[in-house]
């Protein structure tokens, strides 16, 4: 049976890559999905399974979804997003903080002595501050509503990176921004454990999204990536989405504060 039935979720960065895969998978598991992104349409539609916008595809498949235009760096947008979820579906159970700037924002690669101050600030804003804001407004709502029938008040899943666990070459701002995500995950999990809000992070290895294919092709070989991800090579968005279902389900009943590598053994 569906594992996220009667749960209302927000997924940020839902138009592309991991976020789109999470939104689709959550809907398949019975969750209502509020898709949040700068734009509803896929950023790089050529590699997508369908040209439909994520929320439209979910509806076509018989699920429940809506789209709310959101800039995750804006507290005004976050307030409106949480309000929209409550207005549309009555409550908020799950938040997936997935939106982020990854590879394309980090080109050309830079070491710390050549890293642009603006790049640093932007990366911290989009990847780290957004997670603080998301937790702030989602938890406010989770505390104000009746708990879920499981007795839990909510599930927050932050998409971090293996770069929070190891140092990746030539991307200091990205590594630091994801370190902040994993660190904040632990802290927030502690503060809201007694309120029964689960807060966990996923640290994906390399995922073969459109942007990944464009950028990594210039810098590495598929053989190198196969070697670094000994279990099956680099991942697919669905590989992360499936684990995000577990963390939002009752199967994670005793799990909080973790940053779990979902990386085909990269950090093993």
Tokens 């992104």 correspond to: 37
15/173 with CB nearer ligand NAD: 15
Q: Which residues within the stretch 155-174 sit at the binding site for ligand NAD (CB under 6 A)?
A: 159, 161
Query: How far from chain centre, in Å, is Cα 54?
Result: 15
**Which range of residues in 1-9, 10-18, 52-60, 107-115 is near ligand NAD by CB under 6 A?**
10-18
Residue among 63 and 235 whose Cβ is closer to ligand NAD: 235
9 in Cβ contact with 35 (< 8 Å): no
- β pairing state of 65-69 and 197-204: unpaired
Helices (H), 151-228: 172-191, 210-219, 222-228
Residue 67 host element (H or E): strand 65-69
Edge-to-edge, what's the strand order for the sheet holding 197-204? 65-69, 32-37, 8-12, 94-97, 154-159, 197-204, 259-262
User: Of 25, 58, 94, 98, which one interacts with ligand NAD (CB under 6 A)?
Assistant: 98
Selected range binding ligand NAD among 53-61, 114-122, 205-213, 221-229, rule: CB under 6 A: 205-213
161/258 with CB nearer ligand NAD = 161
* For helices 237-247 and 17-28, angle between their N-to-C axes, nearest 10 degrees: 50
Shortest distance, position 90 Cβ to ligand NAD, whole Å? 24
Q: Which position among 72, 92, 131, 175 is part of the footprint of ligand NAD (CB under 6 A)?
A: 72
- HSE-CB at 124 with a 13 A cutoff on CA atoms is 10
179 binds ligand NAD (CB under 6 A): no
Residue 174 is a catalytic residue: yes
Interface with ligand NAD (CB under 6 A), residue from 3, 43, 107, 236:
43
What amino acid positions are annotated as catalytic residues?
A: 174
Give the interface with ligand NAD as residue ranges (CB under 6 A). 12-13, 15-19, 37-38, 43, 70-73, 98-102, 126, 159, 161, 204, 206-207, 209, 211-212
């Amino acid at each position: 049976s569906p594992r996220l039935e009667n749960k209302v979720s927000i997924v940020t960065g839902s138009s592309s890559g991991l976020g789109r895969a999470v939104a689709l998978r959550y809907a398949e598991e019975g969750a209502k999905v509020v898709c949040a992104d700068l734009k509803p349409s896929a950023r790089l539609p050529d590699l997508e399974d369908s040209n439909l916008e994520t929320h439209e595809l979910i509806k076509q498949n018989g699920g429940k979804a809506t789209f709310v235009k959101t800039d995750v760096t804006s507290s005004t947008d976050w307030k409106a997003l949480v309000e929209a979820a409550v207005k549309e579906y009555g409550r908020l159970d799950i938040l997936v903080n997935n939106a982020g700037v990854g590879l394309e924002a980090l080109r050309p690669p830079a070491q710390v002595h050549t890293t642009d101050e603006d790049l640093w600030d932007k990366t911290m804003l989009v990847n780290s501050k957004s997670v603080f804001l998301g937790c702030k407004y989602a938890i406010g709502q989770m505390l104000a509503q009746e708990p879920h029938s499981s007795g839990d008040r909510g599930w927050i899943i932050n998409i971090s990176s293996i770069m929070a666990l190891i140092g990746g070459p030539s991307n200091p701002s990205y590594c630091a921004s994801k370190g902040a995500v994993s660190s904040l995950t632990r802290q927030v999990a502690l503060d809201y454990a007694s309120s029964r809000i689960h807060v966990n992070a996923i640290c994906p290895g390399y995922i073969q999204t459109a942007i990944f294919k464009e950028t990594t092709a210039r810098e590495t070989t598929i053989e190198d990536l196969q070697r670094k991800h000994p279990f099956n090579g680099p991942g697919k968005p669905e590989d992360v989405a499936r684990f995000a279902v577990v963390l939002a389900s009752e199967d994670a009943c005793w799990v909080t504060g973790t940053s779990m590598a979902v990386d085909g053994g990269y950090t093993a």
